[in-house]
Structure 1
């Protein structure tokens, strides 16, 4: 293990861990991949390919395997490094250069106390500077900071700050977001009046309402704080109270999975969907278990995995889950999407869409069940439009998108997302200027709401418009994605290739 750690190659660390004699027999790649929120194929590439460089992923994997911080090679300048750097040739004059702090892709590492132990959490380097904490990156762990810096850091150094929150959820959050996690957890701990379960449920409902207006980056930290507090409160209580708490926790974990999907972190989304399933099973909440299967089917659509879209939706329809009527309608519509993606006849797809509509119209107007409460006639219309696009009928999709969006019932974030879907359908209809103009409007919303999911759809639109590259509207659309939306590196590669 020490040799693997000294290689600075996390794939070698994972291989050494899996095959270590301590386990008596080697742990399969599939098992370890599940722990890390990966597929077996992804883990195989990590073990056999180039050394991973994404700091957020490195921290997530290190937390999952509970590797002591003192053994890791990614630390702050001034921290003690027990492991030597791998032997690599130095160019002439390199010995004159001071050692740089451990940073990858504009991130720095911030020490956070978890269960009495200090771990390093990646935060955005610019956030450190603008928050007056830039000097901390040059301080050893035992140095005395100024009183101002100690005060600013205090929420992140409380002894039990993040115990109960899965460490895998932390990578990728900036300093401001981490402080929101701390604040939410502290607020939950101080709460004394009224039934605590009602408190958690109301806080989660507030976060869901805020999501459409504020976006995932501002909503996610609050949800993570609540989940950490729920898990803490669920310890040491009577079984009935624990099941009630975990039922709320499963709802929150499913919501966290959705938020991670929106910022396109499928590994983290999968982690929280798995946690939601585990808590729902322990809470004996069959409806939530079926609902999580539906959400996994929807995430499979994000990844363009048509077969999993269909089979997961079919699994979610099983009567054992006892889904309420509104959720049944959503599951049935998702099955229609799977059928369209796998090339089934249009008549079979329409039959499922009609069935979903029938289920939805039979839901009582005063239905108290919150599961899938957002799935309304407008939502069904939007999902049907996506399905018709997948079935090769983009002109039908354009009409449905326009009708649903014009109702004004969607949040700003969802309006931007479905306008991107509408632009994709319009592009497939051979209307490049209209698609590009609508794409630009959607890109502005995606930038404001930090919706990576919307940006990914817009990159697909740009690919469809590739043969119209010379048109001014298409050039403007590409530039809007490249500059105005400050698209992430992977998307910028796509944009460059499209030109």
Structure 2
């Protein structure tokens, strides 16, 4: 890397970085280009062509890769964090006198620790509860959203999220003393990262999960990547008694991040976070989370239409050694039924397993809203049953089930869009092109709003099924809505 930087050729720097043994493998030009807002062909030309001379581009690329300024052959502007955040306080006992550039909807509150500012994610409710409302400006920092769209596996992106733009989280009642305590933990984990800070991280995670159904992954991911960056950076520094508890939250958050990346159709990133969730769950001795990750990997195998892997992963998730709660065991049993339907087992076998899942869910205790698998309710079970019946060759029955659940209005905004896509698929397979196109068009609007690429993929499959009816007006309107 030093040799490449000494050549004053950014293309050689890109190549040296991509091929550095630190990564464990050579990074593709496609991955690297996505970090730099380029395409693969542009990156290839930069690597093999003349040295780029555009200073604005050089500065932007250096910032994207977090290249230290003292290694560059050109001068970078002042550090963005320093120019965006001005803190006048000089000790822990003093309240920051100026807190500019913090959005009303939420943002990063600078708290002074040992003479320097540490940024803590807060929202408008927290700001009001802390009595800081008059000090907060109204501009919005977009760096978190932009950062989340880069490859999350880059160490330059993972390690710096909490200090470079984590989206807002709602933590009402969090006072200035508590904010300073969290900030202290981010500054000196061994001394300050304790039970209350772990609880803070848990609240961040739980709120992100609750927000996901309405806001979608693009707005939830910055929060999660910030939280996971904090866990990854500080787990090595905390006291042993805190490490296991912190990693348990990290495992939960990494599993959720895997789901978010599935929703935006980035399977490589999803696998990365699922593997990290399994590793952290093993170290935290959290057996239930290990089984739960196997279930999620099975569901990802369904996304990829790998029926056999899906079935065996579901069966592995159902092993008694994981001590799964009844609600999760119900979901695992239903997942196995879906795998059997895809592999051609008889309808009687599939129905028997679906009945077992229903019985498990009926007998499950009423869990806390944030308990493992708490989202798996009667309505969720019914729409998953409908997917299973579609795979079993009964799309008409599936369409009726979808209709009953979706008309009840019990699902989140994002899930309504996704399961309407599945409903459109069942209708198309049942020979109902106009109704399928109408439902598909409504689903496309939701998918665009919450940026669910997973929903768009299903709608693309619906459009293929409707191809023989492509001249019908409703189908044409659906195609135009999906491709707009």
Q: Does structure 1 conserve the Cα–Cα contact (< 8 Å) formed by 2:254 and 2:273?
A: yes
Q: Does structure 2 conserve the Cα–Cα contact (< 8 Å) formed by 1:7 and 1:86?
A: no
1:111 aligns with 2:63: yes
Q: What's the CA shift for 1:351?
A: 1.6
1:168 aligns with 2:144: no
Q: Does structure 1 conserve the Cα–Cα contact (< 8 Å) formed by 2:34 and 2:151?
A: no
Q: What's the CA shift for 1:364?
A: 1.8
What's 2:294 paired with? 293
1:56 aligns with 2:34: yes
Cα distance change, pair 205–433 in 1 and its aligned pair in 2 (3 A): same
What's 1:417 paired with? 418
Q: Distance in 2 between matches of 1:148 and 1:319?
A: 50
Superposition TM-score, scaled by structure 1 size: 0.68
Superposition TM-score, scaled by structure 2 size: 0.70
Q: Does structure 2 conserve the Cα–Cα contact (< 8 Å) formed by 1:189 and 1:229?
A: no
What SS does the corresponding residue of 2:153 show, helix, strand or coil? helix
Match of 1:142 among 72, 75, 89: 75
Q: Distance in 1 between matches of 2:151 and 2:473?
A: 48
Q: What's the CA shift for 1:17?
A: 7.1
Cα distance change, pair 317–393 in 1 and its aligned pair in 2 (3 A): same
1:278 aligns with 2:279: yes
May I ask how many residue pairs the two structures share in their alignment?
400
What's 1:134 paired with? none
Q: What's the CA shift for 1:224?
A: 1.0
CA deviation profile, 1:369-413 (whole Å, cap 9, x unmatched)? 811010011100010101111111100110111111122111111
Q: What's the CA shift for 1:152?
A: 7.8
What's 1:189 paired with? 183
What's 2:256 paired with? 255
What SS does the corresponding residue of 2:63 show, helix, strand or coil? strand
Q: What's the CA shift for 1:417?
A: 0.5
Cα distance change, pair 53–16 in 1 and its aligned pair in 2 (3 A): closer
Q: What's the CA shift for 1:85?
A: 4.7
What's 2:478 paired with? 477
What's 1:151 paired with? 84
What's 2:48 paired with? 86
Cα distance change, pair 118–288 in 1 and its aligned pair in 2 (3 A): farther
What's 2:131 paired with? none
- Using the TM superposition, name which of 462-471 and 231-240 deviates more: 231-240
Q: Equivalent residues in 2 for 1:10-409 (5 A)? A: 52=30, 55-56=33-34, 85-86=47-48, 109=61, 111=63, 117=68, 142-144=75-77, 150-151=83-84, 168=153, 179-181=164-166, 189=183, 195-365=196-366, 370-409=371-410
Q: Does structure 1 conserve the Cα–Cα contact (< 8 Å) formed by 2:118 and 2:163?
A: no
Structure 2: runs of 5 or more not aligned = 87-100, 102-107, 109-115, 120-143, 145-149, 170-178, 186-191
Q: What's the CA shift for 1:294?
A: 0.5
Q: Distance in 2 between matches of 1:465 and 1:172?
A: 42
Q: Distance in 2 between matches of 1:438 and 1:401?
A: 11
CA deviation profile, 1:233-288 (whole Å, cap 9, x unmatched)? 32232323111110011001101111111111111111110110000000000100
What's 1:65 paired with? none
What SS does the corresponding residue of 1:168 show, helix, strand or coil? coil
RMSD between superposed Cα atoms in Å: 4.5
Q: What's the CA shift for 1:160?
A: 9.5
Q: Distance in 1 between matches of 2:65 and 2:316?
A: 41
Q: Distance in 2 between matches of 1:183 and 1:177?
A: 11
